[in-house]
Amino acid sequence: MIRISKKVEYALMALKFISDSDHKLVTAREISDKSNIPYDLLSKILQKLKNENILISNQGMNGGYSLNKRTDEIPLFNLMTAIDGDTSIAECLQDNSVKDCCLTDTCTIKLPVTRLQKELEDLFKSKTISDFV
Amino acid sequence: MIRISKKVEYALMALKFISDSDHKLVTAREISDKSNIPYDLLSKILQKLKNENILISNQGMNGGYSLNKRTDEIPLFNLMTAIDGDTSIAECLQDNSVKDCCLTDTCTIKLPVTRLQKELEDLFKSKTISDFV
DNA sequence: TTGAATTTGGACTAATATAGTCCTATATAT
DNA sequence: ATATATAGGACTATATTAGTCCAAATTCAA
Ligand code: SF4
Ligand code: SF4
């Protein structure tokens, strides 16, 4: 299964929600309630989006989140890396190559796998959040 | 992480191995030894490929596997479904929709996610094993 | 200045999926 | 007969993903 993680799906829904209520601050609680997304989990996700400068956050009473960029300026790829940390299709292609696949020496498909990775990356980079709102 | 499963990687290596030793029967043991792939696991994978008519198997002494199709006639997509059973990027897009995402009623991104799924599928269908050998 | 609403973030547990193992049956060439 | 193969069910181990819990910091406003 080549799954988009639930977290990324939640992020997409949240961004759509925020985008739809334009310019008003939106709270995590509000999104959680309206979209049936677990509150604590959603909070973490929104925080990550804030750390990637996709969202702006305002703490305290009457606080909440708002978009920091136009939706068409946020590639799906960035969202995915922001949330899941890595988008490599194979162990040996991980950014932080701490882990190295034990077959790395005898592997006969590294090159074509790398090419495939590139193509998938290009696809995810070509999509933006505006395609989901 | 959008990972190609290790099983699919093993399948690709095995198919390359079989393709390289053209027309001679190749045993699971041989591939396992030469490629450092766990024997039992590889056996299961080859069996699945046989059940999908990608390989032909010969039981008994001097038995082994051979290709049933040219490598450019085997889409990567078919390999993935044969081995991992499903390639849907979201729960609600599974073939056997026994499981249904609990958000299915309130979900706001089903349509674009379906479109993305289609594009990924097309990419995996356009690749064939010949791209990996 | 107190309190409620909010984000922040670490640490943890639970659920699921992937990877790998073990064992037995069946087929076949010699 | 027997050694060498594939066939396949049932199981265990590991890794990843999903979800929870708790305490802190920030801000507004009564
Ligand atoms: S099997 Fe090959 S392509 Fe896959 S992770 Fe290991 S080295 Fe990389
Ligand atoms: S969240 Fe939406 S797109 Fe994702 S699985 Fe559930 S219904 Fe499908």
Instruction: Give the range of the structural domain holding residue B80, as residue numbers without chain letter.
Output: 6-131
Q: Which of A97-111, B2-16, B40-54 has the lowest mean pLDDT?
A: A97-111
Q: What is the per-residue pLDDT for A58? A: 97
Q: What is the per-residue pLDDT for A99? A: 56
Is residue A43 in a domain? yes
Give the three-class secondary structure for B84. Answer: helix
Is residue A1 in a domain? no
Q: How many CB atoms lie within 10 A of CB A111?
A: 10
Is residue B1 in a domain? no
Nearest to B114 by CA among B86, B90, B130: B90
Which helix (H) or strand (E) segment holds residue B57: the answer is strand B55-58
Is residue A26 in a domain? yes
Q: How confident is the model at residue A39 (pLDDT cuts 50, 70, 90)?
A: very high
Q: How confident is the model at residue A1 (pLDDT cuts 50, 70, 90)?
A: low
Q: How far apart are the first and last CA of chain B?
A: 25
Q: How confident is the model at residue A35 (pLDDT cuts 50, 70, 90)?
A: very high
CA closest to A1 among chain B residues? B87
Is residue B64 in a domain? yes
Q: How many CB atoms lie within 10 A of CB B32?
A: 20
> What is the average per-residue pLDDT within B6-17?
98
Residues 24-63 of chain A within 7 A of strand D, judged by CB, are 38, 40-41, 44, 58-63
Is residue B121 in a domain? yes
Q: How confident is the model at residue A15 (pLDDT cuts 50, 70, 90)?
A: very high
Q: What would the pLDDT profile of A63-94 be if each residue is shown by its tens digit?
A: 999 999 999 999 999 999 999 998 899 999 98
Distance set, CA A7 to CA A27, A44, B105 (Å): 17, 10, 18
The C-alpha atoms of residue A28 and residue B124 are separated, in whole angstroms, by 37
Q: Which of A97-111, A116-130, B107-121 has the lowest mean pLDDT?
A: A97-111
CA of A52 vs chain B CAs: smallest distance (Å): 18
Ligand 1, atom 3: nearest CA belongs to which residue?
A110
What is the number of domains present in chain A? 1
> What is the average per-residue pLDDT within A113-132?
97
Q: What is the per-residue pLDDT for B122? A: 97
Q: What is the per-residue pLDDT for B95? A: 73
Contacts of B106 in chain A (CB under 8 A): 34-36
Is residue A119 in a domain? yes
Of B87, B131, B132, the CB nearest to A1: B87
Is residue A121 in a domain? yes
Q: What would the pLDDT profile of B50-102 be if each residue is shown by its tens digit?
A: 999 999 999 999 999 999 999 999 999 999 999 999 889 999 998 765 557 88
Contact (CB<8Å) A1/B35: no
Whichever domain contains B52, its CATH number is: 1.10.10.10
The C-alpha atoms of residue B12 and residue B70 are separated, in whole angstroms, by 14
Contact (CB<8Å) B116/A127: yes
For residue A111, which ligand has an atom nearest its CA? 1
Contacts of B132 in chain A (CB under 8 A): 109, 112-113
